[in-house]
Amino acid sequence: MSEFTLYTPQPLLIVISGPSGAGKDTVMQRMQERGLPFHFVVTATTRHKRTGELHGRDYLFVSNDEFARMITEDELIEHAIVYGDYKGIPKQQVREALASGKDVIMRLDVQGAETVRKMASEALMIFITTQNEDELVHRLETRKTETADSLAIRIATARKELNRLEAFDYVIVNRDFQLDKTVDTIRAIIDAEHHRVKPRKVTL
């Protein structure tokens, strides 16, 4: 008789992505508020802090020179220019979290998500979106965080990103006033992934 080996779930590398205005930041914030047992990656960025944001919680706010050093010393999993500012994922932060056995969740724009997919094909890719394009545009317009020119760029980019859905594993419509339902759906997806017969094996 063969010896039975108890299955031990492997930590997942989870990418939360979608167009600007879909609510990625808000979803991540609610997941943290609820104390979910994941490591939430803090993205490095050269953009200025918005009202209410904190260094080390929302982003790692760094200078252009510091970001250039991180690129030169290969400290980033991926990096890109997003609406005129640099953003990147610190490599060591992700590796240490995975090594500890924790699921790792990254919030990325669509371009960054596709870069991670090329590096780690077993990453779990979740696309957050709105009910339709009109709702997405409305959310961007009511945020009032950009100039008219910047807003036009965000809307044009978001429309293009909506067509990249096929690069992802799951899609979730983040409806207004149903934030906790969105978070619950993400949790259900992660839970189901941990019960796969052939688990994802992430290497970076």
Q: Dihedral angle at the C-alpha atoms of 53, 71, 24, 96, nearest 10 degrees?
A: -90
| Residue at 203 is within a domain | no
Tokens of 162: 């909506």
List the end-to-end C-alpha distance of the chain, in Å, as a whole number.
Answer: 37
| Residue at 49 is within a domain | yes
Please report the DSSP string for 45-57 in residue order: E-SPPPTT--BTT
- Please tell me the pTM assigned to this model: 0.86
Report pLDDT digits (tens) over 37-70: 999 999 999 999 988 889 998 899 999 999 999 9
Q: For residue 122, what is the domain's CATH number?
A: 3.40.50.300
Name, in order, each residue with C-beta under 8 angstroms of 80's C-beta and a sequence gap of 6 or more.
86, 87, 88, 109, 111, 112, 115
- Residue 180 has what pLDDT? 97
Residues designated as active site: 50, 143, 154
| Residue at 67 is within a domain | yes
When pLDDT is averaged across residues 91-118 and rounded to a whole number, the result is 92
Residue of 104, 121, 103 lying closest to 167 (CA atoms)? 121
| Residue at 4 is within a domain | no
Number of structural domains the chain divides into? 1
| Residue at 147 is within a domain | yes
Q: How confident is the model at residue 4 (pLDDT cuts 50, 70, 90)?
A: low
Name, in order, each residue with C-beta under 8 angstroms of 162's C-beta and a sequence gap of 6 or more.
19, 129, 133, 136
Q: How confident is the model at residue 32 (pLDDT cuts 50, 70, 90)?
A: very high
| Residue at 172 is within a domain | yes
Q: Does residue 7 surpass a pLDDT of 80?
A: no
| Residue at 5 is within a domain | no
Distance of CA 75 to the CA centre of its chain: 18
Average pLDDT score, the chain: 90
Q: How confident is the model at residue 6 (pLDDT cuts 50, 70, 90)?
A: low
| Residue at 53 is within a domain | yes
Report pLDDT digits (tens) over 108-161: 989 889 999 998 999 999 999 999 888 988 888 887 767 788 888 888 988 889
Distance of CA 4 to the CA centre of its chain: 37
Q: Does residue 2 surpass a pLDDT of 70?
A: no
Which is higher by pLDDT, 143 or 89?
A: 89
- List phi, psi (to 5°) of 38: -125, 160
* Sheet of 85-90, strand order: 60-61, 44-45, 85-90, 76-82
Q: Does residue 199 surpass a pLDDT of 70?
A: yes
- Residue 50 has what pLDDT? 86
Q: Does residue 5 surpass a pLDDT of 70?
A: no
Where in the sequence is the domain holding 174, given as residue range(s)? 13-193
Neighbours of 168 (CB within 10 A): 21
Share of the chain above pLDDT 90, in %: 64
* Pick from 3-17, 39-53, 84-98: least confident: 3-17
